[in-house]
Amino acid sequence: MNIDLRLLFSDDAEVMRENAIRAMSKFALKKGIISFSGGMPNPETFPIEAISRFAQEILQEEGANALQYGLTLGHTKLIEALCKFMERRQVFGVAPENIIITNGSAQGIDLVGRLFLNPGDAVLFELPSYIGAILSYANFRATLVGVACDEHGVSLEDLKNKIRGLRHEGKPIKLMYTIPNFQNPSGVTLQWERRQPLLDILADEGVLLVEDDPYGEIYFQGVDPASLIPIKAFDKDHNVIYLGTFSKLLAAGLRGAWAVAHPDIIRKMELAKQVGDICGSSLDQRIIYRCLRDNLIDRHVPVIRKFYEARCQAMLAALEKHFPEGTRWNRPRGGLFVLVTLPEGMDSEALLKMALDEYNVSFVSGKPFFVDGQGANTIRLAYSKETAGNIEEGIRRLGELIKKHLCTPHPPLKPAAAR
Ligand SMILES: Cc1ncc(COP(=O)(O)O)c(C=O)c1O
C-alpha cells in the first residue's frame, strides 16, 4: 500500500515554497536563451588554475586529512585568516570565537532563523529583499514585515513606524535582515549616514540585525569603499550577525562563507550545524584558506570588479536605448543587479512567460522579493551571465515586448489587482 505522504509531512514541510530564482535556473539552460535570471557569478571569473594548483598542493601536503570530516566550526586556519580578512572591511577585534564557517551564506541565514524564530515572531525585511532569506524565514513560520526603501536604502522613519505597529499588536520582533551593499534585487546601497542610526534603532528595541554582505567588495570605479563599511564595524555590543561569502569573490561551488557574531550565538549555530551537516568540506575550506594566505583574493577582486562593471555599463546603455518611456530603473554602482519598474498595472509574471516562449529571454519577476505582496510590475535583471553583445540583444528584445504591450489598447497582461 502506498503511504499517503500528505498525512505525514510536518507543518514546516507544508509551508515550504519553491525559490522562484532556482525555478528559473532550468530556463537558463534552454538552448540559445539570453538569461538575465540567475544571480550567479560568471564562471569566467572563477580562478580555476589557482584553485586546481592549491587542491593538488593540499592533497600532496596534507593527504587524507584534507578529505576527512573537519570541525563543525570550520578549518581553524581559515577562521584565523578571516579574523584578519574582516579588518580589510574595517571590522576590528574579531576573534576566532566570533566566527563559524558555513556552507554558503544561505546556510548562515537559515541557521540564524533556526536559533531565533518561533512561529509568529516578526522579522523585518527591506522592500524588496533577497528571496532566499525570505523563504528561509517563512519556513520558520515567522511574520515577515516589509520596511520601505528609497534610493539610499531602508527608510528609518518607516522602520520606526513598523516597529511601533508590531509592538502595538504585541508581536515579538526578533530580527531585521538587511543587505547593505548593492542589494539583491534592487542594487541599492544603504547610505553610510543611515548605518549607525539603523543599528541604534534596532538596539533600543532589542532586535538583532542580520547583515548579509555578499556584494560589498564588488564596487565599481568612483565608489569610495569607506562608504561600504559593514554595519558590523559600528557594532560595539554584538547586536549584528554579519554574513560574508566567497561565492562571488572566488567560486560559488566552494560554498565558502562565514558568520561573525557574539560567541554565544556562534556556539548555538555550531550546535545547529552539527545536526544539519556535521561540517563543511575540509578540502574546499583549505583551498579558500590558501587563496587568502597567498593574497589571491587581493589580486583577483579588482579583476572581478572590472568584469561586472563592463557588463553593468552594457546593460544600462541598452536599457536607455531600448526600454520605453514609463519604465525606470536604478543605476547600480556595484553588485550584479538592476531592478526595473514597469508601468503600473503591468504584471511581470505574465510578461516573463512571453519573454521565455516568444523572445528567448529570461529574467526574474520582482513580486517574490517583496514580503508585502507588492512589486508585480518589477523585474530583476542580472547582468552577470551574458556578454555585452547578448545583453544589448536581450534588452532589445525585452524592450520590444514591453513596447508591444504598452501600445495595445487593452493590455493583455493581467493587472496585479485582479489576480
Ligand atoms: C543577498 C544574498 N545572500 C546570500 C546569497 C547566497 O550566497 P551563498 O552562495 O554564499 O550561499 C545570495 C546569492 O545570490 C545573495 O544574493
CA of 214 to the centre of ligand 1 (A): 6
Mean pLDDT value across the chain: 93
Answer whether 186 contacts ligand 1 (Cβ < 6 A).
Answer: no
Location of C-alpha cell 581553524: 76
Atom from ligand 1 closest to the CA of residue 130: 1
CA of 322 to the centre of ligand 1 (A): 30
Same domain, 174 and 199: yes
417 pLDDT more than 60 = no
Residue 10: its pLDDT value, please?
86
Answer whether 245 contacts ligand 1 (Cβ < 6 A).
Answer: yes
Q: What are the beta bridge partners of residue 161?
A: none
Domain end, chosen from 238, 272, 294, is at 294
Answer whether 212 contacts ligand 1 (Cβ < 6 A).
Answer: yes
Domain end, chosen from 277, 294, 311, is at 294
Domain housing 140: 48-294
Same domain, 285 and 356: no
Identify whether 69 is part of a domain: yes
Same domain, 185 and 323: no
DSSP string, 215-248: STT-B-TT--GGGG--GGGG-SSS-EEEEEESTT
The model's pLDDT over 72-86, given as tens digits with 9 standing for 90+, comes to 999 999 999 999 999
Answer whether 257 contacts ligand 1 (Cβ < 6 A).
Answer: yes
Residue 32: its pLDDT value, please?
86
Same domain, 321 and 249: no
Same domain, 269 and 332: no
Answer whether 235 contacts ligand 1 (Cβ < 6 A).
Answer: no
Domain end, chosen from 247, 274, 294, is at 294
Answer whether 130 contacts ligand 1 (Cβ < 6 A).
Answer: yes
CA atoms lying within 13 Å on the CB side of residue 91: 28
Residue 7: its pLDDT value, please?
87
DSSP state, 385?
A: S
Task: Give which of 200, 186, 196 is closest to 153, Cα–Cα.
Answer: 186
The model's pLDDT over 129-146, given as tens digits with 9 standing for 90+, comes to 999 999 999 999 999 999
Q: What pLDDT band is residue 2 in, cutting at 50, 70 and 90? A: confident
CA of 403 to the centre of ligand 1 (A): 33
Secondary structure (3-state) at 379: strand
Residue from 130, 136, 188, 210 to probe ligand 1 pocket by mutation (most atoms less than 8 Å from CB) = 130
Answer whether 140 contacts ligand 1 (Cβ < 6 A).
Answer: no
The model's pLDDT over 390-401, given as tens digits with 9 standing for 90+, comes to 999 999 999 999
CA distance 359 to 24: 15
Burial class (CB in 10 A: 0-12, 13-18, 19+), 401: middle
Q: What pLDDT band is residue 199 in, cutting at 50, 70 and 90? A: very high
Domain count, the chain: 2
Same domain, 338 and 266: no
Answer whether 384 contacts ligand 1 (Cβ < 6 A).
Answer: no
Identify whether 418 is part of a domain: no
Same domain, 153 and 287: yes
Give me the mean pLDDT over the 411-417 stretch.
46
Give me the mean pLDDT over the 101-126 stretch.
97
Residue 405: its pLDDT value, please?
82
Q: What is the CATH number of the domain that holds 262?
A: 3.40.640.10
pTM higher than the cut 0.85: yes
Q: What is the CATH number of the domain that holds 337?
A: 3.90.1150.10
Same domain, 322 and 339: yes
Same domain, 285 and 328: no
The model's pLDDT over 227-247, given as tens digits with 9 standing for 90+, comes to 999 999 999 999 999 999 999
Give me the mean pLDDT over the 193-211 stretch.
97
CA distance 179 to 192: 13
The model's pLDDT over 42-91, given as tens digits with 9 standing for 90+, comes to 999 999 999 999 999 999 999 999 999 999 999 999 999 999 999 999 99
Give me the mean pLDDT over the 104-122 stretch.
97
CA of 106 to the centre of ligand 1 (A): 6
